[in-house]
Amino acid sequence: MSGRADRTRAELIRATTRLVREVGYAQTTTRAIARAAGVAEGTMYRHFPDKASLFLAALLEQHGPVVEAVERLPARAGQGTVEDNLVGCLRELATLREAVLPLELAMLADPELAAQRRRPPYPGGPGPGPPVRIAEYLAAEQRLGRVRADADPQRATMILLAVLFGLAVGPPAAPGPVDPDLIRDAVRLLLTGLGTAPG
Amino acid sequence: MSGRADRTRAELIRATTRLVREVGYAQTTTRAIARAAGVAEGTMYRHFPDKASLFLAALLEQHGPVVEAVERLPARAGQGTVEDNLVGCLRELATLREAVLPLELAMLADPELAAQRRRPPYPGGPGPGPPVRIAEYLAAEQRLGRVRADADPQRATMILLAVLFGLAVGPPAAPGPVDPDLIRDAVRLLLTGLGTAPG
Amino acid sequence: MSGRADRTRAELIRATTRLVREVGYAQTTTRAIARAAGVAEGTMYRHFPDKASLFLAALLEQHGPVVEAVERLPARAGQGTVEDNLVGCLRELATLREAVLPLELAMLADPELAAQRRRPPYPGGPGPGPPVRIAEYLAAEQRLGRVRADADPQRATMILLAVLFGLAVGPPAAPGPVDPDLIRDAVRLLLTGLGTAPG
Amino acid sequence: MSGRADRTRAELIRATTRLVREVGYAQTTTRAIARAAGVAEGTMYRHFPDKASLFLAALLEQHGPVVEAVERLPARAGQGTVEDNLVGCLRELATLREAVLPLELAMLADPELAAQRRRPPYPGGPGPGPPVRIAEYLAAEQRLGRVRADADPQRATMILLAVLFGLAVGPPAAPGPVDPDLIRDAVRLLLTGLGTAPG
DNA sequence: GATGAATGAGGATTCATTCAT
DNA sequence: GATGAATGAATCCTCATTCAT
């Protein structure tokens, strides 16, 4: 129980997430985290074996809401329009991701950190998550005849998420939230296609 | 005259690019760079004012080939198929980018490094580059009736490049080259569209 | 509570003062200070933001005793002889200054260090100090008729202290304590005058 | 004769003197000197075995004019007033010293540099210089009855020069030329005396 | 559990000096 | 004589981590 310990732990994670977003990974020192969390420097090591584990925990913390947001998608197959369903889901993903994108980038940029990602910090680890649910949704729509029969739902999902990630990070964007209009444009383009001829 | 200096400079850039790719930005210390380049640590500072400038130079070094690769694209409008043209171009981009992606990620992850990007290291700076050329190509194909009349070439280009970036970095990828098949799939998807009905 | 921290801080200041006196400012590296203080190099930075601040603190540490020594002077006006009073005071100043003269010289020789002196390290900063007290004393003696009526006490104080500083540093001196006889000679000369005629 | 080498040497000394005065000893790097002198970094070592020797040479360069200025003093004994003679001499000294005071301070602050001063850079070294000449002058005036018979000319000279040095450096003064009025005040004070009673 | 002083290896950078051209 | 690229030891400082209180 010990509500105090739990609060400290949560504070540490909140501080870490905030600092990485605001000042970048390089500037997020243990001292800065401790100060931002309002605890002593040594306290961190009561809750996490080392700094990398704290980062990992911060990253996973966000995973819950993301999963939830996508969990509902497959059930919407056949309702409304495909475009609206996808746009809604991707916008939610973009919003949630905004908080952790800097953490993800830090991991991508630092192999040593990324190595930690291999071994999930607790047995079982995070569930299937967004990619699987979106693919499920696309397959369902495919069965309903609202998505081309010759498309590969998994491949399409991969590309869909790649667009999302690319737009979130992309060169034109000063770091900041993804333009929601851009998300709709992307989904529409992916649905409609760019070409005029059958091939 | 200063063949030696030129060689040293090139060696430094090569070493930096290689190290960032292999061990990540955080591990790429000035000492490691010097050792890999076969020079003394102080020598670095005769060629670059500081470490960030060296990284920037390494990044820009790659810019030339990238620009060249895309420069030829607009001229191909109307020849072959749109799909093949785009796939060819994007594959080239992917290959070239492979070398600098870790550098780009480092910049994205470290605001301090990114700040350097604002002031281009030499007057004039890099030219328009890939986005503009690809948009030009799409517009040309549009005039030829091979791309939907109601598409926005610039917006489409943005999305095209976002896919490419997302695929290069994306969650599935163990760091490594982008699967060329994935590129073709993405282009085909973008051309054909995922949907069946107009909405 | 923090007896240990206080002791470390004092040790750092003592080590700094000693090293600057013995080997000069240029040789007084952070490593040497740490070694002499018996602490790790990083420990210095828990107590002082940077090296210059440590020097400044070492300088101010000495300020207390100096001020006290001169504080008593004005009260002696009219007692004993003017010569003895001044000689006693200046000898004390010379002794105290001996410890910090190298620090003062370092500041004079290095504009960057001197720049730190501008902003006093704590609000309020050091009080009026020696010059004012000596001038007060001279003015008091003047009212008692033991100092020429046409003398300017402030000007005379300035010159008195200039002699002291000049003797402490001056060309003849192998670095070391000021000869006390020289101080008496100087005071006597300043009181008696060198000339015979009014002009 | 090689006028070019001579000019380079002079340029190096000029640059050194100027830089030490303007930016302080610590900032006067060999690179800065070379740049300011308009020569390559390595060239310095054609003319001086090391940096300290260059500093020493710069210091001695100034010695000539100083000596000359004081050389004429003994001959003025008996002419004009003692005050005017001394004031004139000291003011000249102050002006000349202004250029090298930073160099002298640097030497005083750095024992390693000061060690070089012991062995004069060329046999014979500089002559007796100011102290002796001023003492000679005072002794001459003493014989003429214009200086107290019981004064010690050498001791008085020492004190006179100490005042000058102290005023040039002194705490109140922002670094800059010595106020000529202050010099006259000091001389007058030393001649007239501060006291009213015979002892 | 929490604290924060202490650690010390390691980081980027500087600079007097050397030497091939 | 002059050049300037190269050197590498040394500098100040940072920071994840430990441990006595």
Q: Do C189 and D158 touch (CB under 8 A)?
A: no
- Residue C85 to residue C70: CA distance in whole angstroms: 11
CA distance A24 to B25: 14
Chain B, 32-71: which CBs lie within 7 Å of strand E? 41-42, 44-45, 50-52
Confidence class for position D105, pLDDT limits 50, 70, 90: confident
Q: Look up residue B172 and give its DSSP letter.
A: T
> For position C150, what pLDDT does the model report?
87
| All CATH 1.10.10.60 domain ranges in chain C, comma separated | 1-49
Token pair of A114 as six digits? 């990324």
Q: Which residues of chain B neighbour A111 with C-beta distances below 8 Å?
A: 23-24, 27, 175
Mean pLDDT of A70-91: 91
Check if C3 contacts D (Cβ < 8 Å).
no
The ranges of chain A annotated as CATH 1.10.357 are 62-192
In the predicted structure, residue D136 carries a pLDDT above the cut 70: yes
Task: Name the D residues in 145-184 with CB < 8 Å from any C CB.
Answer: 145-149, 151-152, 155-156, 158-159, 161-167, 169-172, 175, 182
Mean pLDDT in residue range C175-186 = 81
Of residues C198 and B36, which shows the higher confidence score?
B36
Q: Which pLDDT score is estimated for B51? A: 93
Q: Cα angle vertex D128, ends D125, D133, to 5°? A: 155
Judge if the beta carbon of D29 is closer than 7 A to nucleic acid strand E: yes
Instruction: Give the CA-to-C1' distance from A167 to F15 in angstroms.
Output: 34
CATH 1.10.10 fits A62-192, yes or no: no
Asked if B148 lies within 8 A of A112 by C-beta distance, the reply is no
Average pLDDT over residues C143-168: 89
* 8 Å CB contact between A46 and A24: no
Nucleic strand E near CB of residue B146 (< 7 Å)? no
Mean pLDDT across the stretch A164-170? 83
**Dihedral angle at the C-alpha atoms of D42, D98, C161, C151, nearest 10 degrees?**
180
Which are the contacts of A146, defined by CB distance < 8 A and separation ≥ 6? A78, A82, B195, B196, B197
Q: Yes or no: say if D36 and D15 are a contact pair by the CB < 8 Å rule.
A: yes
Tokens of C10: 């004092």
Report residue C152: phi and psi, to 5°: -100, 110
Q: Who wins on pLDDT, D158 or B174?
A: D158
Return the pLDDT at B17: 92
Query: What is the predicted pLDDT for the residue at D126?
Result: 44
Question: D36-92, pLDDT tens digit by residue?
Answer: 999 999 999 999 999 999 998 998 888 778 888 888 899 999 999 999 999 999 998
**What is the rounded average pLDDT of the residues D100-104?**
83
Q: Which of D131, D148, D172 sits opposite C158 (nearest CB)?
A: D172
CA C30 to chain CA mean position, Å: 24
For residue A38, pLDDT beyond 90:
yes
Contact between chains at A195 and B192 (C-beta distance less than 8 A): yes
User: Which residues of chain B fall short of a pLDDT of 50?
Assistant: 120-127, 172-173, 198-199
End-to-end CA distance of chain C: give it in Å, rounded: 66
Residue range C85-97: mean pLDDT, rounded: 89
Q: DSSP label at C74?
A: G
CA-CA distance, B120 to B59, in Å (whole number)? Answer: 12
Question: Is the pTM of the predicted complex or chain greater than 0.75?
Answer: yes
- Lowest mean pLDDT across B13-22, C101-110, D110-119: D110-119
Q: What is the pLDDT of residue B126?
A: 46
The pLDDT tens digits for A110-130 are: 777 777 665 444 444 444 567
* pLDDT > 70? residue D1: no
pLDDT of residue D163 exceeding 80: yes
The SS3 assignment for C122 reads coil
Query: Rounded to the nearest 5°, which phi and psi values hold at A22?
Result: -85, -40
Burial pattern A59-68, b for ≥16 Cβ within 10 A else e, equals: bbbbbeebbe
3-state helix, strand, coil in chain B (%, to 5): 70, 0, 30
Integer Cα distance of B113 and D35 in angstroms: 30
First CA to last CA across chain A, in angstroms? 62
Rama region for B24: left / alpha / beta (φ>0; ψ in -120 to 50; rest)? left
Q: Is the distance from CB of B8 to CB of B14 less than 8 angstroms?
A: no
Superfamily of domain D1-49: Homeodomain-like (1.10.10.60)
Q: How far apart are CA A29 and CA A32, in angstroms?
A: 5
What pLDDT, on a 0 to 100 scale, did the predictor assign at position B95? 85
CA gap A163, A157 in Å, rounded = 10
Q: Which of residues 43-62 of D touch strand F (CB under 7 A)?
A: 43, 46-47
- Encode pLDDT of B127-166 as tens digits: 456 788 999 999 999 999 999 888 899 888 988 888 888 8
B119 touches strand F (CB under 7 A): no
Residue pLDDT, tens place only, D123-135: 444 445 677 899 9
Q: Give the nearest nucleotide to C43, CA to C1'.
A: E6
D39 touches strand F (CB under 7 A): yes
Q: What is the DSSP string of chain A?
A: --HHHHHHHHHHHHHHHHHHHHH-TTT--HHHHHHHHTS-GGGHHHH-SSHHHHHHHHHHHTHHHHHHHHHTTGGGTTSS-HHHHHHHHHHHHHHHHHHHHHHHHHHHH-HHHHHHHHS-SSTT-S-S-HHHHHHHHHHHHHHTTSB-TT--HHHHHHHHHHHHHHHHH-TTSPSSPPPHHHHHHHHHHHHH-SBSS--
How big is the CA angle at D86 (ends D84 and D91), to the nearest 5 degrees? 95
Helix axes A153-169, A82-109, angle to 10 degrees: 60
Inter-chain Cβ pairs, chain C and chain D, closer than 8 A? 181
Percentage of chain A surpassing pLDDT 90?
36
